[in-house]
Chains A and B, each alone.
Chain A
Amino acid sequence: QKEVEQNSGPLSVPEGAIASLNCTYSDRVSQSFFWYRQYSGKSPELIMSIYSNGDKEDGRFTAQLNKASQYVSLLIRDSQPSDSATYLCAVAMSGAGSYQLTFGKGTKLSVIP
């Protein structure tokens, strides 16, 4: 069973702090990794994609990928109350066919003013 694991949280951080969200995956040959943000009652919104080992930065967001450890993370700098949401890690698993993504169950982040 190919899986994506995330801590469900809630993860609480004070406003202005760095929020660190983690994700592990079981399929060693996975190539594509995504972070989505989902506000309560809304659909997921793509934040970042990452394909190579290392860091990828986009504004206050940094995605980190370590394929050897099968680990991908999302850092949110200068966290704002508007960042409070559930963050979904998604992985394109090998052999899934039709480009399906396997989603983690999500980590709920609360940024405390």
Chain B
Amino acid sequence: GAVVSQHPSRVICKSGTSVKIECRSLDFQATTMFWYRQFPKKSLMLMATSNEGSKATYEQGVEKDKFLINHASLTLSTLTVTSAHPEDSSFYICSARPPGTDTQYFGPGTRLTVL
């Protein structure tokens, strides 16, 4: 149980385009989903916390207008990187929290490369 999927697993795009990443909890309803970013050989960095039906809470330094998060249902959250630039190239990972627990289960991640 507690499986989280992400799509796509890898994306290459041109500078200035927007990219949408989906995160789904497959066998449980996720009250809360989290979005992280990880640069090579660096630590996980929490970008935002997403609660179903409400606006995401962004961490300090994360631009909410650049990284649009939508959590429209209990099993789906999306992250849209708008007007992507090469410095946005990174490994984006979501996690989901089942109700009644503070355990986070991670998706497999999406590797974004912006040319």
Contact = CB atoms under 8 A, between A and B. Distances in A.
Same assembly = yes
B109 A43 contact: yes
Interface stretch (A19-27, A63-71, A72-80, A95-103): A95-103
Nearest to A104: B43
Contact of A45 (B46, B49, B103, B106): B106
A99 B106 contact: no
Given A43-B108, A46-B105, A99 B93 contact: no
A34 B103 contact: yes
B43 A103 contact: yes
Interface string B43-58: 1101001010000010
Contacts, number: 46
A103 B102 CA distance: 13
B30 to A, nearest CB: 11
Interface of B: 2, 32, 34, 43-44, 46, 49, 51, 57, 91, 93, 97, 102-109
26 contacts: A32-B102, A32-B103, A34-B103, A36-B106, A42-B108, A43-B91, A43-B93, A43-B107, A43-B109, A44-B44, A44-B93, A46-B2, A46-B103, A46-B106, A49-B103, A88-B44, A90-B104, A92-B102, A98-B32, A98-B51, A99-B32, A99-B97, A99-B102, A100-B46, A100-B49, A101-B102
